[in-house]
Amino acid sequence: MTFIDLRSDTVTQPTPAMREAMAQAPVGDDVYGEDPSLNRLQEMAAERLGKEAALFVPSGTMGNLAGILAHCTRGDEVILGNKAHTFLFEAGGISALGGVHSCQIPNQEDGTLDLDDIRNAIRPDDAHQPVTRLVTLENTHNRCGGVALNAEYTRAVGQLAHDRNLRLHLDGARLFNAAAGLGVVAKELVEPVDSVTFCLSKGLCAPVGSILCGSRDYIQKAHRLRKQLGGGMRQAGILAAAGIVALETMVERLPEDHKRAQSLAQGLAQIPGLVLDPGTPYTNMVFLSLAEDAQIGTASQVARRLADQSILVGVVGERRFRLVTHYWINDEAVDRAISTFRAVL
Ligand code: TLP
């Protein structure tokens, strides 16, 4: 029996069309800027997001790292959410490697940062304090349930940041899920930001890679940082070829994943012992917990029992799960996941 892997959309395998495009891709040495496939992907991405330039990086983590370091110098401070992926899950790279100090303010349940909290976190001009340089947002917001931030909110944060001479960076690992969830084009969501990363290797199914977009000067700086971080690649057009297929064919179908997340949530909500987060799913993530009075062990124990039945789920707390739908999860997989949960509980 094949595994039904709901742990993340990072587990997506490249599609047959991607494998074919990778095999045929014209390539060159990208450190010399000579890879035609990579250059094409970067141009497509910049155009799609309405930014001057784009840079291919091996991962979302490196995209955020190079992206933040290109705005900041050592000792500068970035304001971010206390549930931000960059704060929680990127191994402290911005401080370990860039000397960037972080000021964490509470993420609201809807993934936003309160405008007053941002305002109050901006440092005065005082030699005792770090210099506030940057604000970052995340869209969709992973630890806030995969919720999407709308353009109006992002515009308000952009205006606040720019009025105070700060820059705004967006971790848009799942930017196209946000756009699909809100029924808008991604360009609209990133118009107010100075820089944005998005991932090709999550819901868009490419095997490797993320893109950082911004102004031409900014991307030139990020390009040097990518080299410093060891992310300058050679015939990376093999990877870019899959990214091109991702942008051309995988963006428009994301609503299917969101619909399946809805079906999954509806099915799981009927099972005694499971409590779904209010509002879940916003996009392609379903968050749920074991009911307080359910005597069925911990989430890890339940996940092991599910794995024995070929269902893989994410454990994100003592009694908490995250299930993510993606291209390789079809209707039958959703039904099987629901019936296996029922059987195991
Ligand atoms: N998220 C992964 C894990 O690291 C948690 C996942 O399974 O969701 N920004 C956001 C919002 C992300 O969710 C992730 C990956 C990243 C950045 C980092 O991307 P990669 O894994 O390509 O470095």
Instruction: Compute the average pLDDT of residues 207-224.
Output: 98
Contacts of 23 (CB under 8 A, 6+ apart): none
DSSP 108-162: PTTS-B-HHHHHHHSPPS-TTSPEEEEEEEESSBTTTTSBPPPHHHHHHHHHHHH
Average pLDDT, the chain: 97
Nearest CA to 42 out of 26, 61, 57, 55 is that of 55
Instruction: Compute the average pLDDT of residues 265-276.
Output: 97
| Cβ–ligand 1 contact at 9 (below 6 Å) | no
Q: How far is the CA of 257 from the centre of ligand 1 (A)?
A: 18
| Cβ–ligand 1 contact at 142 (below 6 Å) | yes
pLDDT at residue 118 tops 70 = yes
| Cβ–ligand 1 contact at 83 (below 6 Å) | no
Q: Among 178-187, 210-219, 286-295, which is the least confidently predicted range? A: 286-295
Instruction: Compute the average pLDDT of residues 193-214.
Output: 98
Q: How far is the CA of 170 from the centre of ligand 1 (A)?
A: 13
Relative to beta strand 274-276, strand 314-317 is unpaired
Question: What per-residue confidence (pLDDT) applies to 157?
Answer: 98
pLDDT at residue 1 tops 70 = no
Q: What letter would DSSP give residue 106?
A: P
Instruction: Compute the average pLDDT of residues 256-272.
Output: 98
What is the C-alpha separation between 161 and 169, in angstroms, rounded?
Answer: 10
Contacts of 258 (CB under 8 A, 6+ apart): 177, 180, 181, 281, 283, 284, 325
Q: How far is the CA of 60 from the centre of ligand 1 (A)?
A: 6
At 297, is the secondary structure helix, strand, or coil?
coil
pTM: 0.98
Nearest CA to 136 out of 97, 176, 178, 94 is that of 94
pLDDT at residue 296 tops 90 = no
- Cβ contact 209:16 at 8 Å: no
Q: How far is the CA of 61 from the centre of ligand 1 (A)?
A: 7
Digit-coded pLDDT (tens) for 305-343? 999 999 999 999 999 999 999 999 999 999 999 999 999
For 165, the token pair is 């001479």
